[in-house]
Structure 1
Amino acid sequence: MKTANKQKANQKNQHALICSFLAAFFLNLSALFSQNEKPKDTANFIYYPDKIMVRANLSTQSDDYFLKDKKGTNLDLETNNSYKLFLSIDYKFIGFSYGFYPKFFGGNKDEDLKGKSSFSDYNFRFFLGRWLQTVNYSKTKGYYVANMSEFDPNWIKGKDPYLQFPDFKTMQFGMSTSYLFNSKFSLKSITSFTEWQKKSDGSFLPSLIYSYNTIRSKSDDLDGKQKEFDLKLAAGYYYNFIIHKKFYMAPNLSPSLGVKFMKDKSRDSGVETVEKETYFTRNLDGGLKIGYNSDRILFGASLNFSVSSYNEDKNNVISNDKVYGLLYFGYRFNAPGFIAKPVEKIDDKIKML
C-alpha cells in the first residue's frame, strides 16, 4: 500500500515539476526579452522568424475502446476524465507539447464510482522544408465500463459504481511523415502558428502514419498483453480561409486505409496462449478550426472528429470514434540569443532543401 501511494505521489510530483518548469520558462523569457522586432512580411505569408510561440490547448478529447458485438451486448471502455490540457512551445521548424489530465479544472470528481485514470502525452514536430515529421509518445491507465446499464438492468447511474479496470493500460509510440504539395499554403499558420497566411489557399497533404501500441490488462487470474503495429496511408486536404486579415477558418479532411499487425499474449489460470492476427483498418479524421491572429496574441477553437474501425471477426467490430472540441490561447515573444543562434543555423540548412 505504501509503495502504491509512493508511486502515485511520484507521478504527481513529476507532472507538477514539468508544468512548473514550463510555466516559469515561458514567463521568464517573455519578461526578459524585448518586443520591438517586426515580423518579416511577404506577398503570401507573414513570418515570425525570431519569435517563440507558446500555447495552452484545452481539449475535451476522451480515450475509449468500443467493442461491437453483432450478436450480443456491446462493451464501451472509457477513461475517467473530462478534459486534457496541452502546453506547447514552437520555434521556427521545431515544436514540442506535453499533455495531461488537468484535475484543477474540476474533472475526475467521481473517482469513487468510475475509478482513477492517468494520462501523459509527449509530442515533437519538425518542419523540414515542405516535409513535416512528428514523433509522439502517450500513456493512459485506468478504464471503466461506461454502458453498465446494458449489463445490469438494476444498476443505478450516479449511485452504483461502474465496473472498473484500474490496471488496463495503453501505451503508444507513433510517428508520421507528411508532404505539403502547395508552397503557397502555410501549414504552420494553423498548426504551430509560427507563420501567418495572408491569402486563402489550401493543399493536398498525404501522410504515412506508423505506430506501435501495447495494451496491458490484469485481473486476479488473467494477465494479458496485446502488441499492435499500425501502418496507415492518409490522403489529407487542408484549406485556410482568411477573413478580414486577422481571422481564419480552416477545415480539413483526411481519409486513410491501413494494416494492423497484432500479437496477443495472455495467461489465464496459469495457462499461456499466444495469438497473431492481421487486420485491415479504415480511418477518417477531420475538423474545423476558427481563430484570431495578431503579431503577439492569438486564440481560437476547433471541432474535431476521428473514426477508426476494423473487423476482428465475423461478429465483432473494434471501433474508436471520437468527437471533441479544443480551445487554445497563444502568445509570441522574442527568442533569446542562446536559442536563436544554433536553431537559425539549422533552419538555414533546412531552407536549402
Structure 2
Amino acid sequence: MKQALLVVITFIFTSSYAQDIVDFSNKMLVKVDFNKQSESFLITDDGERSFIVEANNVYKLKCSANYKFLGLSINFSPSSTHGNNQSKFRNIQLRVFLKQWLQTFEYRKVQGFYQERTNINTTLAAFPNLKTTSFTGSTSYTLNDNFSLKHLVALNEWQKSSAGSLVPTLNYGFNRLSDVNETGKYFQNNFDISISPMYYYTRTIKTNYFVTGGIAPALGIRFSNEKSEHSNASYSFVTKALNFKLQFGYTTNSISTGAVFNFDSSEAKKASARNFVNDKSYASLYFGYRFDPPPFLKQSSKWVKEQIDL
C-alpha cells in the first residue's frame, strides 16, 4: 500500500513540469473505432438458479467527428456472433470540451439477449424481449494543465511530453431494464450517481509515440424500482466499480492511431432478479484523421461561439 501511494505521489509531482500541448481544435477530426465489448446480465430464477445472458453483437464499430468544442459518436454492431440469434444495438454519444472540462451525454439501447455459452453443444436460451435503455452523463475536470485528456479521448490535442493528472469525475444516469416472458412483464428502473477520482499518466516516447495508464475507482448509490406482475419494490444501495485502462498510440499533425485496453469490474450490494454484470475486459483499435473543415462549418462554429461567449 505504501509503495502504491509513493508511485502515485511521484506521478503527481513529475507531471507538474512544463510541457507543450498542441491544439487541433481548428481542425475537423473523423475517427473510427473497432472494439469488442459485450453487455451482460445476471438472471436469477426464484432466488435459486443463476446464469448470465449476453447480447450477441459483440463486435462494434464507432464513427466519431470532433470540431472545436463539440464531438459526436455513433456506435453500431455490424455482425452477430451466433448466426440467427440477433441482438439490436444503438449508441449515440455527445461530448463537449471546454478548457479543462469534459462533458459527455450518452444514449444506449440493447435488445435481445442469449444465455452465455458454457459448452459448444449447449442450446442457447433466448431472451428476445429483454431490453436495456439508458441515458447517462459524466462531468470531468483535469486538475493539471500540463496533462491532456483530449489527447486520449477526443484526439483534438497532442501531448508531446510526459505528464499525469487527477481527473475527478461525476457520473450520473438513468437505466431502464424490461422483459416480457411467460410469467408476464418485468421492469427495473435505476437512477445512478457516483464519483470517481480518476488518475491518468501519459508517458511520451520520441514525441510521436505514447503509452498511458489509468485507474478509476468509483463509489456511488443506486435508487432502484423493480416491478413485475406480482410485486413492486423500491430500494437503494451502494455501488462500487474499478476500471483500469492501458492505451498505446501514435500521433502526428494529421493522424492519431492506437489501441485501448479496458479492465472493468463493478459490484452492487443488492440481490435482484436482474443484475448488471460488468466484470469484463475488452480492447479497441482506433484511427483518427484531421483536416481543414468546410467553410460552412467554420462560419457556424464562429457564430455559436460568439452567441455563448466561449
Q: Which residue of 2 aligns with 1:265?
A: 227
Indicate yes or no: 2:248 matched with 1:276: no
Q: Is the 8 A contact 1:254 1:285 kept in 2?
A: yes
Indicate which of 241, 262, 269 corresponds to 1:311.
Answer: 269
1:111 to 76, 83, 94: 83
Q: Is the 8 A contact 1:68 1:319 kept in 2?
A: no
The residue that corresponds to 1:327 in the other structure is 285
Residue 62 (structure 1) aligned to one of 38, 46, 55: 38
TM-superposition CA deviations, 1:1-44 (whole Å, max 9, x none): xxxxxxxxxxxxxxxxxxxxxxxxxxxxxxxxxxxxxxxxx961
TM-score by length of structure 1 reads: 0.77
> Aligned in 2, Cα 1:67/1:286: closer, same or farther, shift over 3 Å?
farther
Corresponding residue for residue 166 of structure 2: 204
Whether contact under 8 Å (2:40, 2:277) holds in the other structure is: no
* Alignment correspondent of 2:92: 122
Aligned to 1:300: 258
Taking the aligned partners of 2:276 and 2:68, their CA distance within structure 1 comes to 40
Q: Distance in 2 between matches of 1:202 and 1:345?
A: 35
Instruction: Give % identity.
Output: 33
- Unaligned runs of 5+ residues in structure 1 are 1-41, 150-156
Could you tell me which of 109, 112, 115 is aligned with 1:142? Answer: 112
SS in 2 for 1:111: coil
Amino acid at match of 2:172: Y
Q: CA–CA distance in 2 between the matches of 1:237 and 1:210?
A: 19
Gaps of at least 5 residues in structure 2 are: 1-17
How many Å separate the matches in 2 of 1:351 and 1:246? 34
Return the structure number with greater strand share. 2
Pairs aligned (count)? 292
Q: How far is the alpha carbon of 1:66 from its aligned partner?
A: 3.0
Q: Please tell me whether residue 229 in structure 1 is matched to residue 187 in structure 2.
A: no
Q: Report the secondary structure of 1:291's partner residue.
A: strand
Aligned mates of 1:278, 1:49 — CA distance in 2: 42
| Structure 1 CA distance for aligned equivalents of residues 209 and 293 of structure 2 | 25
Kept in 1, the 8 Å contact 2:40–2:276? The answer is no
Instruction: Summarize the alignment of residues 148-159 of structure 1 with structure 2, pairs less than 5 Å apart.
Output: 157-159=119-121
Would you say the 8 A contact 1:80–1:111 is kept in 2? no
Task: Mark the structure with the bigger radius of gyration.
Answer: 1
Query: CA-atom RMSD, angstroms?
Result: 2.5
What is the SS of the residue equivalent to 1:261? strand
Q: 1:220 to 1:74 in 2, by over 3 A?
A: closer
- Aligned 1:157-196 pairs, distance under 5 A: 157-196=119-158
Cα offsets for 1:57-102 (capped at 9, x unmatched)? 0011111113589x95531111112311110111121101000111
C-alpha offsets along residues 184-227 of structure 1, whole Å, 9 cap, x if unaligned? Answer: 11111111111101111011101110010000111123211110
Aligned letter for 2:253?
Answer: D
Per-residue CA deviation, residues 285-335 of structure 1 (Å, 9 max, x unaligned), is 121100111111221101101111112249x98642111000011111101
Q: Which has the higher helix share?
A: 1
Letter in 2 for 1:99: N
**1:351 to 1:247, Cα distance in 2 relative to 1, 3 A:** farther
Assess if the C-alpha contact under 8 Å between 1:300 and 1:329 holds in 2.
yes
